Amino acid sequence: MPRPARSITNRSSLLGLALLLAALLAAAAILASFGMGLLPGQTTSRPTTGAGQGQGAGAAAELDLLIVGGQVLDGTGSAAVRADVGIKGDRIVAVGNLSKSRARRVINAAGMIVAPGFINVHSHTDDGILENRDAWAALRQGITTEIVGQDGRAPSDLAAYGRTLTAGGIGVNLALLAGHGSIRESVMGAATRAPTPPELESMRARVRQAVRDGAFGLSVGLEYVPGKFATAAELESLAGELAPSGGVLAAHLRNEGGALVQAVEEVLSIAAKAGVTLNIAHLKAAGRGNWPVFQGILDRMDAARRSGQTVYADIYPYQAPDYTCRLRLADARAVYRPEDLLIRKAAGTDFAGQTVDQIATKLGTTAQAAIDRILARDPEAVAVGLIISEDNIAAALARPFTVISSDDEAYPVFAAGDARSLSVHPRAHGTFPTVLGRFVRERKTLTLETAVFKMTGLPARMYGVADRGLVQKGCFADLVIFDRDKIAGRATFVAPQLPPDGIVHVIVNGVAVISGGEPVLTADALGRQTGPRAGRVLRKGQ
Ligand SMILES: [Zn+2]
């Protein structure tokens, strides 16, 4: 019989009852360590001990949290191994057989995968984080760190912004980028010309300051104002400021459709001349007519890597970008092919979730007649333009240089009557589980360990996120525990806010934030429900 936990035996009152409770909990822990006691997903929150033979943290140092019996995917791409994970404070202190360790709380992960928390490489959570600090939409899909400040937009003073985030607390770790567009605007206003030498030097100084403030790179939005006015020379010069710290040039391309090939060449050249790591944001060939060039783009990136360039691309696993996910059907019918138009909302019909092509087949009529029927019922029917090939998504995920992004915010869940509840893109709630469910389990595009590597160890390496992205002794305890047989994104264009299946526990900096599949809620000083807000503002090199 293991010794009862110290914190219980120390109590002088109710000693007998406490000893009995401790013995019962210890017995439960023995069963749990064999996967027979607590059901997967259940936890004990009382002091307890493990049982059996073991090594690692040792009996002397009591752990704050012990995850027992799971299959650990360590984030390096290696296959899963059976191991326990011991956490003290915000760090992983032991990985292995920890059955002799004492812990204040035990999570039984029998039958489940224990992986590093996911890193969302292209996130817009900074857009709403000050009003929505808990970031549940990220945490519920297993994301524990997000790279924000994308597409050229970022606060001009990253140090001050970081202090604002930290002061009110944030649910998820945020790693900040400097934003080229924001910097250009602050120096050159709305000018559409090339910068003068003093203007360029002023912009360079701002990038240098952002790097000193811990920026992980520089984002550019070359399709947007004012990024579209930037010359290659300007971008090479500014990106060059990232080279000493190993910062990443995160590029939203000048074009994702008919001029995609040239747009990729442009950023490959800029990054090569600046000598910096390149990440192409949300890589896609938009529009059916452009789908055939996509394999060639992937081959071109492979060739750049073989020639010694460090290049990556992030991918989201959905067939529509944000800008085609809430179209008026009445307008979209002239622009998109019937097989590419998915009905998102059509009041008075049950067509939502089907393509116009499918509806026409069901009605035994033409696509245009089917659209007329839908619009007769609901003139404001909403459609989604499926302009990204799922086969291209799979082809990209199969390449070694791709990582995962949501390209979206960690929204709160909007009430059913709130118009936003129907305009959210499902990627905000389902990106990472969709990769693991749809592309790993169903399509078998990539192995589970490779997919987890793309979500953890690989993005941590590319961005230089220190001590995260791995389940290793000494790393921060950012972890996700999930059921590989159940994990799936449930959010769709019709029901975009559904939380994913299969994410059972999420831990940020040693703090449980999702437990048994549900958010961990506490009351703040005013009695309002709030999350643990265990996230941190990360600074590169620290
Ligand atoms: Zn973008």
C-alpha angle 220-222-228 in degrees, rounded to nearest 5: 125
Q: How far is the CA of 13 from the centre of ligand 1 (A)?
A: 61
Q: What's residue 533's pLDDT?
A: 97
Q: How far is the CA of 123 from the centre of ligand 1 (A)?
A: 9
Q: What's residue 31's pLDDT?
A: 40
Q: How far is the CA of 329 from the centre of ligand 1 (A)?
A: 25
Q: How far is the CA of 272 from the centre of ligand 1 (A)?
A: 21
| Cβ(214)–Cβ(539) below 8 Å | yes
* pLDDT over 70 at 440, yes or no: yes
pTM above 0.95, yes or no: no
Helical ranges in 457-506 per DSSP H: 457-463
Q: What's residue 5's pLDDT?
A: 35
Q: How far is the CA of 45 from the centre of ligand 1 (A)?
A: 42
Residue-wise pLDDT tens digits, 102-112: 999 999 999 99
* pLDDT over 80 at 36, yes or no: no
Helical ranges in 253-328 per DSSP H: 260-274, 294-306
Residue-wise pLDDT tens digits, 494-504: 999 999 999 99
User: Nearest-CA neighbor of 46 among 11, 93, 91?
Assistant: 11
Q: What is the spatial distance between Cα 119 and Cα 508, in angstroms, rounded to a whole number?
A: 12
Q: How far is the CA of 222 from the centre of ligand 1 (A)?
A: 9
Q: How far is the CA of 394 from the centre of ligand 1 (A)?
A: 20
Q: How far is the CA of 252 from the centre of ligand 1 (A)?
A: 5
Residue-wise pLDDT tens digits, 523-540: 888 888 899 999 999 999
Q: What is the spatial distance between Cα 388 and Cα 331, in angstroms, rounded to a whole number?
A: 19
Q: How far is the CA of 408 from the centre of ligand 1 (A)?
A: 9
* pLDDT over 90 at 12, yes or no: no
Q: How far is the CA of 150 from the centre of ligand 1 (A)?
A: 7
Q: How far is the CA of 282 from the centre of ligand 1 (A)?
A: 7
Q: How far is the CA of 322 from the centre of ligand 1 (A)?
A: 10
Exposure class string for 456-487: b at 16+ Cβ within 10 A, else e: bbbbbbbbbbebbbbbbeebbbbbbbbbbebb
* pLDDT over 50 at 353, yes or no: yes
* pLDDT over 80 at 2, yes or no: no
As given in the structure block, the two tokens for residue 25 are 């909990």
Of 21-25, 306-310, 410-414, 473-477, the range with the lowest mean pLDDT is 21-25
Q: How far is the CA of 506 from the centre of ligand 1 (A)?
A: 27
Residue-wise pLDDT tens digits, 275-309: 999 999 999 999 999 999 999 999 999 999 999 99
Number of Cβ within 10 Å of residue 416's Cβ equals: 8
Give the chain's radius of gyration (CA, Å): 25
Q: How far is the CA of 126 from the centre of ligand 1 (A)?
A: 13
* pLDDT over 90 at 318, yes or no: yes
Q: How far is the CA of 460 from the centre of ligand 1 (A)?
A: 20
Q: How far is the CA of 221 from the centre of ligand 1 (A)?
A: 7
Range 270-275, long-range pairs (CB < 8 A, 24+ positions) = 270/232, 270/235, 270/236, 270/239, 271/239, 271/309, 271/311, 272/304, 272/309, 273/236, 274/235, 274/236, 274/237, 274/239, 274/240, 274/242, 274/243, 274/249, 275/240, 275/243
Mean pLDDT for the stretch of residues 443-449: 98
H and E: helices and strands count for the chain: 16, 27
Return the bridge partners of 65, or none.
87
Q: How far is the CA of 154 from the centre of ligand 1 (A)?
A: 13
Q: What is the spatial distance between Cα 456 and Cα 465, in angstroms, rounded to a whole number?
A: 10
Q: What's residue 48's pLDDT?
A: 46
